[in-house]
Amino acid sequence: MDRHDTLNIYESMHSGLGDILEHDESQSQNVNKESHLDFSSPDCRYQNPESLSSGGMKHIYKTYDQLCGRQVAMAILKNIRSQQDLEQFTRESTITARLEHPNIMPIYDIGHDDKGEPFFTMPLLAGENLADLIRRESQKKPDSPTIALKNKINMFLKICDAISYAHSRDVIHLDLKPENIQTGSFGELLVCDWGLAHHLDSKQELKKNRVVCGTPGFIAPELKVSKVFDPSPRCDGYSLGVLLKCLISLRGPLDPDFHKDPAHTPSGLLSIINKAMRDDPELRYQAVHLLKEDLENWINGFAPSSQAAGQGTVFLLFCKRNLKTIFYCVAFAIILSLTLHYKKQNSHLSKKLYYSLPSSPQVSFQNKLQEIFTQHHKLLYNFKTKEAEALLNQALVYHPDNAELLKLSGITHLCNLNFTMASWKFSELDKEFTQIAQLSQSISETSDLRNIHNLIKVYDFLERHEQYLAMSNLSFTLKDEMDLNMRKSLLTKLLNRYNKYIEKIEIQDNTLSIEGKSPLANCSPLMLMDLKKVDISKIGTDDINEFIYLSPQEFKINPLTHSRFANDLQDVKYEIIK
């Protein structure tokens, strides 16, 4: 077969395909009749061919394009056994050359050698085809990293784009399979091998001469049973469904388990695959772009049209899409609910206090005020300083000028180490409280509790006003705010300051031993420590309450000199050790 015969076939193919894609008869004559291929000639454009692969119809070579200065892949027809072989090879090069899409393999050059045998060149990709990728993924161990489902879907969407474009140009591929999808090392994905492609405007004579070809498992069912070769875009839709299932399940269509649903595959994705692979073409996606839209909807969290999603499924998908928004809404609702609840409770407490603190008559008010003082004393007795502070704040709302309330409020703020509020309360009283107001302001500005000298002044103020419960509460609060060495130092100074004739104070770990000639009169500083062992058998005490709150595991006391505390000790189950 000489080159003139080949050119005649080229021209008849262009005409027979119905002036493919451009409908411009003049384009069918633009074949480079002077493009000869002779590797042995130094003037040949393509040099140094290296065999890459060999298929049923053609050889693929790696060769160097001298004109463009790059490596390219060259396809050469293996054996021209019939005019049909030549037509198929020519059809592939012609159709591929005129489909310009980022995901379709481009054609660089079309020509023939000195014997008239055709060839075409295309990009040389360093990657692998999709079949190799699927085979490699299926052989990985279960604990090895694999391609994420989302990445697989994104790869498939590129294939859909390419086929949808081809359909818009009235071209059907008819041989979609993993082997015909080439991937590159830098994210490239190209649909290639358009040798079986069919143009919808092909003449009826060509349709009659065509026979059904393709790869078993990927051929649409209607092509296998029809006596007339009359394919439609829905045939490619079926092949895409099979291709997607291969990519998800990592199995080929001839695998015995291929008909089973892939494990751990979402129901929405399964419904898309099953619809694309329906035997009845009327029940499939009628266009590839509809298949792509369903996949994009599923990726974005919506129910695809192929899935009979109920209201529950739609609601769950809505929640999944808007998870962050729902979280913020729920958090806002909880905060709002708690705020309203607190406001309601506060309003209720204010009303209750309003009726419990009448402004007149004065005698009635004094009786109610005494009840508040008693309640405040009980709260301090149980070390509930926050509740005591709230009680006084509520009372001051209705009687802001009451001196006794202001004094107790300032003292309670001292117990809570709220020196700023304490300064404000004391500053509203007479000159007697000016010094403690200034001291509180000074401590508030420095925020330094390491100044033991200032803390001792606060204790002195409380001691002068006989606020021994407040001193205990202040010690209890400072226990969590100061380190152990500072607390030991402060405790020693305070015990010596408020108790006479102490001869020896020994603090070792959680053990306290005090010796002296006169019983302890003020034990409130003891709340600075967590004491497990206390020995006051050589000094005694006038008040056992502080030791009851300390709850030491071992408590040594002289039972002869402290018999009046025996009942108290028995009530709290302390053992008197001689």
For the domain that residue 407 is a member of, what is the CATH number? 1.25.40
* Shared domain check, 565 and 450: no
DSSP class of residue 58?
E
Whole-number CA gyration radius for the chain:
47
DSSP class of residue 304?
P
How many domains are there within the chain? 4
SS3 labels along 248-274: HHCCCCCCCCCCCCCCCCCHHHHHHHH
344 assigned to some structural domain = no
* Shared domain check, 400 and 299: no
346 assigned to some structural domain = no
Q: How far apart are CA 276 and CA 291, in angstroms?
A: 7
Q: Would you state the pLDDT for residue 224?
A: 82
* Shared domain check, 73 and 10: yes
* Shared domain check, 146 and 119: no
Of 103, 280, 264, the closest CA to residue 181 belongs to 103
* Shared domain check, 281 and 212: yes
CA distance to 52, 340, 357, per residue, from 352 (Å): 93, 18, 9
337 assigned to some structural domain = no
Q: Would you state the pLDDT for residue 264?
A: 85
For the domain that residue 88 is a member of, what is the CATH number? 3.30.200.20
* Shared domain check, 75 and 223: no
In the chain, the amino acid numbered 362 is Q
184 assigned to some structural domain = yes
Residue range of the domain that includes 156: 130-320
Q: Which two tokens stand for residue 335?
A: 């905060």
Q: Would you state the pLDDT for residue 364?
A: 47
For the domain that residue 291 is a member of, what is the CATH number? 1.10.510.10
* Shared domain check, 223 and 194: yes
pLDDT averaged over 10-residue windows placed end to end, the chain, 578 residues: 51 46 40 50 79 82 91 86 77 87 93 80 88 90 80 94 95 93 88 87 57 83 78 94 94 91 89 94 94 92 83 81 88 90 72 51 59 90 91 87 92 93 92 92 84 92 91 91 90 90 88 89 88 86 73 74 49 42
* Shared domain check, 99 and 10: yes
Residue 504 bridge partners (DSSP)? 515
339 assigned to some structural domain = no
* Shared domain check, 171 and 148: yes
Of the candidates 320, 338, 373, which is a domain's last residue? 320
528 assigned to some structural domain = yes
* Shared domain check, 514 and 471: no
- How many CA atoms lie within 13 Å of 106's alpha carbon, on the beta-carbon side? 10
pTM of the model: 0.53
393 assigned to some structural domain = yes
Of the candidates 90, 123, 156, which is a domain's last residue? 123
* Shared domain check, 441 and 574: no
Q: Would you state the pLDDT for residue 30?
A: 42
185 assigned to some structural domain = yes
* Shared domain check, 198 and 117: no
Say which residues have a Cβ less than 8 Å from residue 346's Cβ, sequence separation at least 6.
Answer: none
Task: Note whether 488 and 496 are within 8 A (CB).
Answer: no
DSSP class of residue 57?
S
Of the candidates 451, 482, 513, which is a domain's last residue? 482
Q: Would you state the pLDDT for residue 559?
A: 63
Q: Would you state the pLDDT for residue 201?
A: 78
